[in-house]
Amino acid sequence: MKTLLLTPTDSGVGLTSICLGMIHALDQMGLRVAYFKPISFSSTGQDRSAALVEQYSSCTPPLPIGFQQAKDRIADGHIERLMEDILSLHQEVLDQYEGEEPEVMLIEGVNESIHEALFDQFNIQLARALDAQVILITTPQANSVQELNSRLSSTAKQFGGINDSRVLGTIINMLNAPLDRHGNIRPDITSPTYNAAFGHDTLANQLPVLQRDDFHLIGAIPWNRDLTAPRTADVMAYLKCSSIAQGEAQQRRVHHVVIASQHVESVVPQLQPGTLVITSHDRSDILIAVAMAQHNGVALAGLLFTGTESDNSDTLAFCQSAIEMGLPLYQVEQDTYQVVNLLPGFDNRLPVDDTQRIHVLMDTIAQNLDKPWLKSFVGSDSHPRLSPAAFRYRLVQKARTSSQRIILPEGDEPRTIQAAITCHHRRIADCILLGEPATIRQVAQSNGLDLPDGLTLLDPESIRNDYLELLMELRRHKGITEQRAKQELEDNVVLGTLMLYQDDVDGLVSGAVHTTANTIRPALQLIRTKPGVNIVSSIFFMCLPDQVLIFGDCAINPDPNAEQLADIAIESADSAHAFGITPKVAMISYSTMESGAGVDVDKVRAATQQVKKKRPDITIDGPLQYDAAIIPKVASKKAPSSEVAGSATVLIFPDLNTGNTTYKAVQRSANVVSIGPMLQGLKKPVNDLSRGANVDDIIYTVALTAIQAQETTPD
């Protein structure tokens, strides 16, 4: 599936119209297309764009997220939560297709410039979250090829620039549209001052950005007055007029406005099809002239009387035959001057019920899109990546499929309490806060947190003795005494681990207060490794701006041998698959392929061969240097025949020093969010937190643990 984000360079580019036309074009090409709009800026609770798409295409878009909700999320620093909400909408759209995935997903971007500074760079984050390629939607606006080129370049730069493979090209809308004296497009009912002079050939030949092979002119849509002319009824409704005779107000359209304040002789030449005549209530001569024009077959948009109502019933009776021919007649209390001042404020966006105009618009746009290029693009091979927001969304959704009991031994720690509350509300897991209930309630109250009724608070003092015999049995081979066992049970992590061993809970998360050793040691002693696994290891999910990579082992094993390194690679590949990441495993070293030698390189090479022998289904290569593993240009030079180089998703480091140093360097230099470490190889899921973990870190670690619990096979 191709995911396309249609993003505007500025306001007034006709973004929804282009979306409709693109859907129509793809439908004409026999392609399955889906659409959604992430955020609505409507204050009514209904979204016009979504309504238009639903009524005039086969798509059924969900209602977008409301402006206030989105604004609050961003203002509170929860932009990633907003992206997850958007991913939920995305999944809601995909679920409609019942296994037959659409070939194209169209996303209508946000015009940040007119929707508050909070939404600055929103489209950039949206493109990353949805792994979308970008099409820039623009209009000429001013009579300058250079200015248009600059605007396109500037917008493209936000997404990586004209050269970035994610920036596909542009659709230029409303070519040769009427401009007002400020050079702004005014395709409305007011009179233009002059016209721009753009054509398809002018753009293709003179715009520098279009001279590049990888930035395409995907569409050049000419301005068409039929696409912008409102129905007479729409204008009358805006002005709050009352009808004398509605006539064909729902069918006739306003192309011109004539203010008939002069002699009738000067008005007559202006009575052309599509003209709305506005005149004072006492101008019976204008009424007669308009009626005569109607008799002569001129389909005027209508006649509007302004000012205090006067008795012109005799003249109306005289003109009855013109009225019967469909001439719309209206009146309004405001005077002519007031009405003229109101006209520029008319909202000329597409009304949902204007079927004729919408069909013409869709046909016009579809006809002027580069369909051969679209066909080639949609049919070409793609290399989808999993964005951080998509990964987090998948984590939550997968965790929710089966309710798992996750014990939190640090139950009276504020961040842990808040995370447990969130997990409860979002149905990520059934969290159990292990701690003295009165203390937990006091900490929650002090931090302004409301404990939901269904959240379990478990007093450890009430259950410690229940696990004494079990602990002594498990540690009998170490000669543990009853007194020593009681002392160890005072540690809530040990207690929680025993609960996990006995299947009283499904997973354990700790480390917000305790050290990594405090969390992991009881698991190694009591839970132990899965059958066939010789080593417990860890991975981090590295949430880069455009994709999620797995790094291992960065937390547990100081210097694994070749066999252990192979086990780490296999476990990491299986973990990647379990969490929706296609595993392409790169075995990292200081040299690539056969270019180096030495004990460390030989270890990596041997581990790679062992994985290929044990698990031929895993795509793996090594030794590879870090840059050759993830950067396509470097890979093409250093390892041109590798299936993994340049596109690795799982990176296995030769030792803890290399892994931890690289993990921290990438995390800090690129401001990358990481999730983990997640332990792998244990019979039951136990995961460690950094003592600097924030609430979101804990939430996603709980989700990871819940998913691991789903995958765990009972003894």
The length of the chain in residues reads 715
Region class of 155: left (phi > 0), else alpha (psi between -120 and 50), else beta: alpha
pLDDT band at 304 (very low <50, low <70, confident <90, very high): very high
How far is CA 412 from each of CA 188, 407, 408, 415, 459, rounded to the nearest angstrom?
Answer: 63, 12, 9, 9, 11
Domains 2-228+354-379 and 232-345 equal at CATH topology level: no
User: Are residues 164 and 129 in contact, defined by beta-carbon separation less than 8 angstroms?
Assistant: no
Q: Answer whether 0.75 is exceeded by the pTM.
A: no
Bridge partners (DSSP) of residue 682 are: 529
The residue ranges of every structural domain in the chain are: 2-228+354-379, 232-345, 529-681
**Six-digit token pair at 543?**
């949430």
In the prediction, which pLDDT does 194 show? 45
Question: What's the whole-number mean pLDDT along residues 364-379?
Answer: 88
b/e map 86-98, b = 16+ CB within 10 Å: bbebbeebbeeee
User: Are residues 457 and 411 in contact, defined by beta-carbon separation less than 8 angstroms?
Assistant: yes
pLDDT at 553 exceeding the cut of 50 = yes
In the prediction, which pLDDT does 17 show? 92
Query: How far apart, in whole angstroms, are the C-alpha atoms of residue 451 and residue 333?
Result: 59
pLDDT band at 388 (very low <50, low <70, confident <90, very high): confident
The per-residue pLDDT for range 636-676, each reduced to its tens digit, is 988 898 999 999 999 999 999 999 999 989 888 766 778 88
The per-residue pLDDT for range 62-99, each reduced to its tens digit, is 999 988 888 888 888 888 888 889 999 998 898 887 66
**Cβ partners under 8 Å of residue 592, min gap 6:** 623, 624, 625, 628, 638, 639, 645
pLDDT band at 435 (very low <50, low <70, confident <90, very high): very high
* 3-state class (DSSP) for residue 150: helix
Considering the segment(s) 529-681 as one domain, its CATH architecture is 3-Layer(aba) Sandwich (3.40)
- Mean of the per-residue pLDDT values for the chain? 86
pLDDT at 393 exceeding the cut of 80 = no
Q: What is the dihedral of CA 670, 676, 681, 683, to 10 degrees?
A: -170
Bridge partners (DSSP) of residue 259 are: 278
Angle CA 11–14–17, to nearest 5: 155
User: Are residues 4 and 107 in contact, defined by beta-carbon separation less than 8 angstroms?
Assistant: yes
Please list the alpha-helical segments (H only) found in 615-655: 626-630, 632-638
* 3-state class (DSSP) for residue 422: helix
* 3-state class (DSSP) for residue 478: helix
The per-residue pLDDT for range 307-353, each reduced to its tens digit, is 876 667 778 888 888 888 889 999 999 999 999 999 888 888 888 88
pLDDT at 306 exceeding the cut of 80 = yes
In the prediction, which pLDDT does 187 show? 46
Question: What's the whole-number mean pLDDT along residues 474-487?
Answer: 89
Most confidently modeled range among 177-181, 206-210, 215-219, 598-602: 215-219
In the prediction, which pLDDT does 29 show? 79
pLDDT band at 384 (very low <50, low <70, confident <90, very high): very low
In the prediction, which pLDDT does 74 show? 83
In the prediction, which pLDDT does 180 show? 61
User: Are residues 118 and 105 in contact, defined by beta-carbon separation less than 8 angstroms?
Assistant: no
User: By C-alpha distance, which of 177, 185, 172 is closest to 138?
Assistant: 172
**Cβ partners under 8 Å of residue 262, min gap 6:** none
* CATH code for the part of the protein at 2-228+354-379: 3.40.50.300
Higher pLDDT, 136 or 349: 136
pLDDT at 183 exceeding the cut of 60 = no
**Cβ partners under 8 Å of residue 492, min gap 6:** 409, 410, 411, 434, 435, 460
User: By C-alpha distance, which of 494, 495, 680, 698 is closest to 572?
Assistant: 680
User: Are residues 23 and 33 in contact, defined by beta-carbon separation less than 8 angstroms?
Assistant: yes
Sign of CA dihedral 501, 502, 504, 506: positive
pLDDT band at 117 (very low <50, low <70, confident <90, very high): low
CATH class of the domain whose range is 232-345 = alpha beta
Query: How far apart, in whole angstroms, are the C-alpha atoms of residue 540 and residue 575?
Result: 11
pLDDT above 70 covers a percentage of the chain that reads: 90
pLDDT at 227 exceeding the cut of 60 = yes
pLDDT at 185 exceeding the cut of 60 = no
Bridge partners (DSSP) of residue 278 are: 259, 304
Query: How far apart, in whole angstroms, are the C-alpha atoms of residue 165 and residue 2?
Result: 13
In the prediction, which pLDDT does 653 show? 96
Q: What is the dihedral of CA 464, 465, 467, 468, to 10 degrees?
A: 120
Question: What's the whole-number mean pLDDT along residues 590-594?
Answer: 76
